[in-house]
Structure 1
Amino acid sequence: MLNVLAVLVLLGSGTVAGVLFAVAVSTVPALAAMPPDRYVYTHTLLGRNWDPTMPLIVLGTTLLDIVLAVWAPGALDRTLIICATVCLAGVSLVSHLRNVPINKRVHRTDPDAVPPGWEDPRPVWRRWHLLRTALAMVALAANSVALTLIF
């Protein structure tokens, strides 16, 4: 059972880190280069399929990490897995408390009628996204090292 958990945790944390990294290095710069109307339109299209897929992967991997921490044979393994769990919980919190509210605000904006003086959310959204990307990368590294030590 430990082997199955290990595979699922690495698959989940790797997917989260990979998706967030890809968004950070490709999607965010592309969106930043767009005029506001194209940004609003494109952001709305890109955001359609993230929910519930990514929250399920993040929260599911967090739960699997909790189970793995209980079953970890050594103190260092357990500590690293707990670190990964906290980082994945941080990804979820940043997403739900910071990025999602910004997304909802953008989705309420009509791309054909972006008001003058519109407050561009891209710089703030980017900072929060980079934080959750860093948390996801630390989670993947902690899980990888812990599972390398276990096996």
Structure 2
Amino acid sequence: MSELLIGATIVVAGVLVGVEFCVAVLVNPIADRLPSGGGLTFRSSAGRLLGTVMPPWYIATVVLAVVSTVLLRSSSAGVLSGVAAALFVATIVLAVTVLVPINNRVKAWSEGDHPPDWRRQVQRWDRWHLLRVLLCTAGLILLVTAALTAP
């Protein structure tokens, strides 16, 4: 049973990392090259959709990482899983304190109604999002390492 839960943790965290990586490296850079405000429209729409989907996904990842930590607590793999859980918690703190406030502004914008510095604001979001991707990736690597070294 513990192998199944640890495997589920890796899958949930892995898909989360994949989605966030694609947003950072593929989706937003492509959207920013769309002509005449298309990138702004895309980011606004994506902000509304992902702003709904991602919070439960992050919470599920943290919960599963904590469960994995409890299951592995009697070994060094438990420490690795615990650090991974802490990194995923840090991504939530980063999101709530920095990314969500920016995203809340972006999702209210339209092609005809946006501040003149909208590009600077979304670039700031992109930089912070890249940090989140790095933290999530480190958490995933630790989870996989924990699973591979578990007794």
Which residue does the alignment assign to 1:118? 117
TM-score when scaled to structure 2? 0.88
Change (3 A) 1:36 1:88: farther
Which one-letter code corresponds to 2:79 in the other structure?
T
Q: Distance in 1 between matches of 2:61 and 2:31?
A: 29
Which one-letter code corresponds to 1:71 in the other structure?
L
Q: Distance in 1 between matches of 2:10 and 2:109?
A: 38
Counterpart of 1:55 in 2: which secondary structure?
helix
5+ residue gaps in structure 2?
A: none
TM-score when scaled to structure 1? 0.88
Q: Give the C-alpha shift of residue 122 in structure 1.
A: 2.0
Identity across aligned pairs (percent)?
25
Which residue does the alignment assign to 2:20? 20
Q: How does 1:33-112 map to 2 (within 5 A)?
A: 33-34=33-34, 37-72=37-72, 74-112=74-112
Please give the per-residue CA displacement for 1:27-49, whole angstroms capped at 9, x wherever unaligned.
12123334673222111222232
Q: Distance in 1 between matches of 2:14 and 2:35?
A: 33
Which one-letter code corresponds to 1:20 in the other structure?
E
Pairs aligned (count): 150
CA RMSD of aligned residues (A): 1.9
Q: Distance in 1 between matches of 2:35 and 2:127?
A: 19
5+ residue gaps in structure 1?
A: none
Change (3 A) 1:23 1:119: closer
Which residue does the alignment assign to 2:139? 139
Q: Give the C-alpha shift of residue 110 in structure 1.
A: 3.0
Change (3 A) 1:128 1:50: same
Q: Distance in 2 between matches of 1:40 and 1:138?
A: 30
Q: Distance in 1 between matches of 2:63 and 2:114?
A: 41
Change (3 A) 1:65 1:113: closer
